[in-house]
A and B are shown apart, each in its own frame.
Chain A
């Protein structure tokens, strides 16, 4: 069966500090991978998606970037965090036109 991991679970970072969130998937190959952010008020915003190694598409211009160095690894980064980067970050995997499966999420608080 497939499993998706995210870490860390929670993170408190000062403004201006760097960020690295990691997501890995087990039990499947060549998945589509996604990063979402969920701000207070519960709506999900798609940040990045990837259909293959090294292929990253950005949905929203912002202070964040993503990379996919391996088939089942997806990394969300920032060089300098802003207060507005606070939120609940969710990684997911899926396939074309089918459901996505979500990780447990990372709660990021920028202070």
Chain B
């Protein structure tokens, strides 16, 4: 079985400072991992994905995440926050299955202060 835990429900940073959103996963098989972003009243947008290739994954808008199997973590980082980064972020895990179902974390709300 798979599960995912986002360790912070809310993170607040100042504009221009680094962002760290933490995610731990559990999986019986080799997982695929994703980060999605959701702005208010919008659909979810894929930020980046890990599918057993390079462990350091670069995504859109300057975000990146590192897959650490020994720590079962997939934390999302960005060197410098921008006001437009304020949104909800979801860490997601899945394994190969016909249904293609995803397991979502509960989300982390990122606030960016000017």
Contact = CB atoms under 8 A, between A and B. Distances in A.
Interface of A: 6, 32, 42-44, 46, 49, 51, 57, 88, 90, 92, 94-105, 107
Contact of B43 (A51, A90, A94, A97): A90
Contacts, number: 63
A94 B51 CA distance: 15
Nearest to A33: B100
A45 to B, nearest CB: 9
B41 A98 contact: no
Interface string B60-73: 00000000000000
A102 to B, nearest CB: 4
Contact of B44 (A6, A51, A102): A102
Nearest to A91: B43
A100 B100 contact: yes
A50 B51 CA distance: 23
Contacts of A92: 44
Given A42-B107, A43-B107, A44-B104, A97 B41 contact: no
